[in-house]
Structure 1
Amino acid sequence: MEVISHLISYNFISAAMIIGIIIMLIENRKESPRGSEHIAVTVVFLIIIVVNTELKEWFFATAYDSTRDYRGDAAMWFMYVRSTVEHILFPVIAYVLLMMIAPIKKKYITFMPALVLAIAEIVNLLGPKFIFRFDRHLDFHDELLFLLPYFVGMLYLLLLLRYSIMFIREKQMSKGIAVIFIVFLTILECYLEAAYIVVDLMDEIVALDVIIYYFYLVAIYQSETKVKLRTSELELERSRRLLALSQIQPHFMYNSLTSIIYLCDKDTEKTKSALIDFSKYLRKNVDALSRQGLVSIKEELEHTKVYLSLEKLRFDEDLNVEFDIRDDMFMLPVLTVQPMVENAVKHGIISSESGCGTVKVITMEAGNYHRITITDNGAGFDPATLEHLDESHVGIANVRKRLSDECGGELIIHSVPDRGTECIILIPKENGNENTGN
């Protein structure tokens, strides 16, 4: 308990930083931003360094005797081991940071300086003292190669600096600046340590470096996650749209082909015209699957007329169609009018008691909107049932959503049972909807 108390009292900042990093790692363990495993390794090394430093401080505060000759004593061996571990770990931490930040393929080559240092430190520990030594009173003394740990650490910092410049050139400004700041802090600490201005500050600086870069990693991860989520949502919505647009009604195709076959023996020219219309109808639906952006109202009305010409093959005089086009200079989502007209025919006219009626399509300007009105005098329905429409109603929900998403438009439906239905499509006069209509 005395050691722990001393640890918290004299290494409070280091301990607080390390605990903070551990909490962040635990908090983001599910997301696991790229580089988290390197940070976890660094935290382990930092804990070793802090405990290592604290053991030295505790020894000098409680058991050290400045008049004693420690040659051959366990305390002398302990001091050599802890200094060797410390000299090895700092460059290794710089190497781990480099691996976390830089896209290095031949990692074993980059690790060679740290490996050479580790071997040299072990030789210094077990044999001749050419890096550092302790005298009989445990005073630390630099030897010929005392700058070797700093040199290896500086080598990794220079590599970090090189990659930071590369990041900035590649327009990764935030990453480049974060790395430069980390390098600056670490070089400053190395200078303070080498000049004996400040002692045992490296653990706090490294912890601060890790916190800085971890916050960067988390921020980038969250940003990338939002982009991926938005992209996935757009792809999903596009897939739903393509699925909805690809649902060419089988019964309509069957009925149209049956009508065309019936015409073959009666009217060759009319059959030819019907086949042309049928191919146009199919082509329009297929093209809609890959169509990007908006289409002109003229194009949409042309497709609607093709559809109605095929329905007229079946119902002839029972289906009356009227167009009143007062505004044809705007754009709208593909397959917007035709599905609503198909609903008017299928669920309005055909479902009425008489089995006949009129469908009207009117376009006009209305204030800040282009307005398309589709009416029928067919069966009608209770508007409350719109919330529970089944799949037989062709794309009402899909049309409404595409209008909202693609041009800020709106679909309004009014209906009275046994009297008919009115569908109103409103297209705002903005966001590039004004067009020649060609």
Structure 2
Amino acid sequence: MKLISYLISYNFVSVALIIGIIVLLIENRKDRPHGTEHIAVIVILLTIIVANTFFRELFMKKLYNEDFDYRGDPAMYFMYFRSTIEHILFPMIAYVELLLITPNVKRYLLFIPEGILIVGEVINLFGPKIIFSFDSHLNYEDRIFFLSPYFAGMIYMLLLLRYSIRFFKSKERTKGATVIFIVFLTIFECYLEAAYIVVDLMDEIVALDVIIFYFYLISIYQREMETKLRTSELELEKSRRVLALSQIQPHFMYNSLTSIIYLCDKDSQKTKDALIDFSKYLRQNLDSMSRSGLVSIKEELEHTKIYLSLEKLRFDDDLNIEFDIKDEMFMLPVLTVQPMVENAVKHGINNSESGCGTVRVSTDETETHHRIIITDDGAGFDTSAIEALDETHIGINNVRKRLEDECGGELIIKSVPDEGTECVILIPKEKDDENSGN
């Protein structure tokens, strides 16, 4: 416990930052934004550096004797080993940071400065002292290539600056500013240590760099997720329109064409009008696939009337149609009214005991909503089982979902078996006004 207490007290900032990064990684483990693996590697390297520094300070405080001759002593090998690790790992962290932002190039080329440094440090550790050495009292001394670790790190800093300039040119200003700030922070810390203004703050600065990088990665990930969400919403909207198109039921097309064929020998003008209505009906459904936004209630009612004129060919006097339009100055999703009217004809009137009845379409408004009411006096159904009716009752859930998503609207269905059905479509005035103003 004393060891842990000493570690935390001496390296409190470093330990706190590392723990903070680990918490961030754990918190976002499910999202796993691009670059998370690099951050995890840096955290491991940084932890090794902090532990390495801690053991050195622990040795110097508890065991070091300035009068002792350490030549050939294990402490001498320990000091060489820990300094070698420190020299290698700091440029290694800069290298991993560089991998976060580099394009898909031959990344092994970027490892050349670090590779040369590793070779030099290994030679220095086991052979002639060309980078650093210790005297008999463990005092650190520079050798001819003492700038090698700094030179390798500076190469990676310059490469980071190069890519940041590229980001500015490609209008990725946030990314470029983030990289420049990290490079500035690191170089400034090196200057402070070289001028003996501060001592041993490199690990804290690196940890801070990593946190900045990670928050940047999270922001990039969130923007990517927002873009994907918008794309998914567009795809979903397209799918809904395809579904709306699929609501041109084969039985309706067959019945309409059969009725038109029957009219050919009886009334050529009526046949011509029916064909025109049929072509308009098909075109409106096809156009709905490419339509975005809302349509006027006038347009939706016109399409509904065309549909009813075709059904009238088959039902003739068995189908009565009534319109009571008091409000026609609002917008709503395309193919909203017609599918509900089709339900009224197909499942209300056609399935009633008499096989005949009346479909009524009316519009009005309240203080807060535009309202469309579709009623029939047909067979009716049990509304408690409405979720299971989607395959037979055309598009009820589809219409409800599109109303909610596209204009904040609502579909309310009331039905009594053997008495009839009432469908109420509510369009909020505020939502409608916003869409009308665009």
Q: Compute the TM-score of the two structures, normalised by the length of structure 2.
A: 0.86
SS across alignment from 2:433: coil
Say whether residues 1:201 and 2:201 are aligned partners. Answer: yes
SS across alignment from 2:295: strand
Say whether residues 1:391 and 2:394 are aligned partners. Answer: no
User: Contact 1:344–1:376 (CA<8 Å) still a contact in 2?
Assistant: yes
Describe the shift of the 1:237–1:289 C-alpha distance in structure 2 as closer, same or farther (beyond 3 A). closer
| Corresponding residue of 1:115 | 115
| Corresponding residue of 1:186 | 186
Shift of 1:212: 2.5
How do residues 127-142 of structure 1 correspond to structure 2 at under 5 angstroms? 127-142=127-142
User: Contact 2:351–2:379 (CA<8 Å) still a contact in 1?
Assistant: yes
Shift of 1:415: 4.8
Describe the shift of the 1:118–1:384 C-alpha distance in structure 2 as closer, same or farther (beyond 3 A). closer
| Corresponding residue of 2:261 | 261
| Corresponding residue of 1:251 | 251
Give, in whole Å, the separation in 2 of the partners of 1:247 and 1:187. 66
Describe the shift of the 1:328–1:56 C-alpha distance in structure 2 as closer, same or farther (beyond 3 A). closer
Task: Show CA shifts across 1:389-424 (max 9, x none).
Answer: 453222233223323322333434455655544434
Describe the shift of the 1:426–1:142 C-alpha distance in structure 2 as closer, same or farther (beyond 3 A). same
Describe the shift of the 1:265–1:404 C-alpha distance in structure 2 as closer, same or farther (beyond 3 A). same
Give, in whole Å, the separation in 2 of the partners of 1:262 and 1:33. 64
Shift of 1:190: 1.1
Shift of 1:192: 2.5
Describe the shift of the 1:345–1:157 C-alpha distance in structure 2 as closer, same or farther (beyond 3 A). same
User: Contact 1:407–1:431 (CA<8 Å) still a contact in 2?
Assistant: no
| Corresponding residue of 1:42 | 42
How do residues 76-225 of structure 1 correspond to structure 2 at under 5 angstroms? 76-103=76-103, 105-225=105-225
| Corresponding residue of 1:432 | 435
Describe the shift of the 1:47–1:409 C-alpha distance in structure 2 as closer, same or farther (beyond 3 A). closer
| Corresponding residue of 1:306 | 306
Amino acid across the alignment from 1:340: M
Describe the shift of the 1:58–1:383 C-alpha distance in structure 2 as closer, same or farther (beyond 3 A). closer
Task: Show CA shifts across 1:329-367 (max 9, x none).
Answer: 443221122122222222333333433233333345655
SS across alignment from 1:290: coil
Give, in whole Å, the separation in 2 of the partners of 1:84 and 1:70. 18
User: Contact 1:293–1:406 (CA<8 Å) still a contact in 2?
Assistant: yes
Give, in whole Å, the separation in 2 of the partners of 1:278 and 1:317. 20
Shift of 1:183: 1.9
Structure 1 segments, 4+ long, off by >6 Å, are none
Give, in whole Å, the separation in 1 of the partners of 2:127 and 2:88. 17
User: Contact 2:284–2:303 (CA<8 Å) still a contact in 1?
Assistant: yes
Equivalent pairs, count: 435
Describe the shift of the 1:326–1:34 C-alpha distance in structure 2 as closer, same or farther (beyond 3 A). same
SS across alignment from 1:423: strand
Give, in whole Å, the separation in 2 of the partners of 1:368 and 1:23. 48
Q: Percent of aligned pairs with the same residue?
A: 71
Shift of 1:120: 2.7
Give, in whole Å, the separation in 2 of the partners of 1:384 and 1:4. 64
SS across alignment from 2:332: strand
SS across alignment from 2:239: helix
| Corresponding residue of 2:336 | 336
Give, in whole Å, the separation in 1 of the partners of 2:216 and 2:359. 61
Amino acid across the alignment from 2:38: H
Give, in whole Å, the separation in 2 of the partners of 1:280 and 1:216. 53
Give, in whole Å, the separation in 2 of the partners of 1:2 and 1:362. 82
Give, in whole Å, the separation in 2 of the partners of 1:15 and 1:2. 16
Shift of 1:31: 2.3
Say whether residues 1:290 and 2:290 are aligned partners. Answer: yes
Shift of 1:94: 0.9
Shift of 1:307: 1.4
Shift of 1:430: 0.7
Task: Show CA shifts across 1:212-249 (max 9, x none).
Answer: 22233234334533553454355335424532441222
Shift of 1:105: 1.6
Describe the shift of the 1:271–1:63 C-alpha distance in structure 2 as closer, same or farther (beyond 3 A). same
Give, in whole Å, the separation in 1 of the partners of 2:31 and 2:136. 53
SS across alignment from 1:41: helix
SS across alignment from 1:111: helix
Q: Compute the TM-score of the two structures, normalised by the length of structure 1.
A: 0.86
SS across alignment from 1:375: strand
Shift of 1:178: 3.1
User: Contact 2:304–2:337 (CA<8 Å) still a contact in 1?
Assistant: yes
Shift of 1:49: 1.9
Describe the shift of the 1:247–1:112 C-alpha distance in structure 2 as closer, same or farther (beyond 3 A). same
Give, in whole Å, the separation in 1 of the partners of 2:186 and 2:233. 43
Describe the shift of the 1:314–1:434 C-alpha distance in structure 2 as closer, same or farther (beyond 3 A). farther
Give, in whole Å, the separation in 1 of the partners of 2:425 and 2:437. 16
SS across alignment from 1:351: coil
SS across alignment from 2:56: helix
